[in-house]
């Protein structure tokens, strides 16, 4: 399974470089060892996504007392240099369907719901662009293989 989660700007670079290898999260994602994470950078000041993301695989999960408060998990992760095209497509579809579900159940004024929806839509568009780039790279690589017999 692929999970798309927010990561604050100050933690993004250490995570992306592989120096940060543990992520403490609420245990609300049904996380399992082997799951993929797309960590979408979140700017707390601007209250918006930056458009940057990194990928990781969950290698171990620690939960429960006495190490963590009930309802939280420590995810040991390994930063991935790449995800397969299928994994990115799966994540984009899951994200888009989650947007619809959240928009239906979100509290607050209509303007607040619209604002949150638009912020999340920007992330969805970024994922869509990544998918398009993956398809283009795959096509270019296939052409190189055919012309140079790689």
- Helix H or strand E segment including 84: none
Whether the predicted pLDDT of 85 surpasses 60:
no
Tokens of 68: 């963590």
19 and 65 co-located in one domain: yes
% of the chain with per-residue pLDDT over 70: 59
State the residue range of the domain holding 113: 84-150
122 and 141 co-located in one domain: yes
More confident residue, 100 or 2: 2
Contact yes or no for 99/117 (Cβ under 8 A): yes
Q: Which pLDDT belongs to residue 32?
A: 93
Residue-wise pLDDT for 87-146, tens only, equals 666 666 666 666 555 555 555 666 666 666 666 667 666 776 777 676 677 777 677 766
Q: How many CA atoms lie within 13 A of 126 on its CB side?
A: 18
Whether the predicted pLDDT of 58 surpasses 90:
yes
d(C-alpha 125, C-alpha 99), whole Å: 12
116 and 105 co-located in one domain: yes
């Amino acid at each position: 399974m692929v999970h798309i989660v927010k990561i604050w700007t100050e933690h993004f670079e250490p995570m992306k470089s592989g120096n940060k290898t543990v992520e403490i999260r609420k245990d609300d994602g049904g996380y399992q060892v082997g799951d993929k994470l797309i960590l979408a950078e979140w700017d707390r000041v601007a209250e918006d996504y930056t458009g940057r993301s990194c990928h990781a695989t969950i290698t171990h999960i620690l939960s429960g007392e006495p190490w963590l408060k009930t309802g939280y998990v420590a995810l040991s992760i390994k930063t991935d240099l790449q995800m397969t095209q299928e994994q990115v497509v799966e994540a984009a579809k899951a994200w888009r369907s989650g947007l619809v579900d959240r928009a239906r159940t979100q509290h607050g004024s209509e303007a607040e719901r619209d604002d949150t929806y638009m912020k999340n839509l920007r992330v969805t568009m970024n994922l869509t662009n990544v998918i398009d780039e993956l398809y283009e790279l795959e096509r270019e690589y296939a052409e190189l293989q055919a012309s140079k017999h790689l």
